[in-house]
Copies of this chain bind each other. A is one copy, B any other.
Amino acid sequence: MSASERPLRADARRNRESVLDAAGELFAERGDAVQMDEIAERAGLGVGTVYRHFADKQALLAAIIGRRFEAMTESARAADDSEEPGTAFEELLHTYLESAQADAGFRFALLGPEEPSWVQIASEKTDFGEIIERVVQRAVDAGWLRADFSAQDFVLISRGAMANMTGADDWRRYVELMLEGVRGPDPQ
């Protein structure tokens, strides 16, 4: 239980990274449909090695999604740095959706019905939720978003957009329409 302190052997550490990278790529391409054997192959390792580092498929995916969420949190923080509240909100939404567009696995994690959702798990490790709340509040206060807009609505919009990410990029049109409906009295 507490032996987690002994540092990994050099090769083990290297391999762990390889697995994470390979799984990340494949997961981004095809979501949950990736197979453990493929991951091992792409990493240039045997399946046994994959299992040495991650208890099971679920644990591996959780690790990847955690990674993604950390990156997302970083982007969100950057968006929050914008002076202009409207710009901050747009940038946040943009980065979020652009990531989802590029990563079927991310979408899978966000749209899937898993319980407890991976999002919840990841939220406990990052302050992604808080950042969203702050950015939304700023945009509302500035009149850029309608007064009753909430962080929960951000989730609604995002999920809707992701559901439309199938090949073509119709989803951009979708976001356009949606932003129209969500606009406040002073949209700059």
Contacts and interface: CB of A to CB of B under 8 A. Distances in A.
Interface of A: 111, 113, 152-153, 156-157, 159-164, 166, 170-171, 173-174, 177-183
Contacts of A159: 160, 163-164
Contacts of A161: 160
A182 B177 CA distance: 6
Contacts of A173: 153, 156
Contacts of A111: 163
A163 B163 contact: yes
A109 to B, nearest CB: 14
Given A159-B160, A160-B160, A153 B177 contact: yes
A113 to B, nearest CB: 6
Contacts of A179: 181
Contacts of A153: 173, 177
A181 B152 CA distance: 18
Given A156-B173, A174-B156, A181-B182, A163 B162 contact: yes
Contacts of A183: 181
Contacts of A181: 177-183
B180 A156 contact: no
A183 B109 CA distance: 33
A187 B166 CA distance: 31
A152 B168 CA distance: 12
A165 to B, nearest CB: 10
Contacts of A170: 152, 156
Nearest to A161: B160
A138 to B, nearest CB: 19
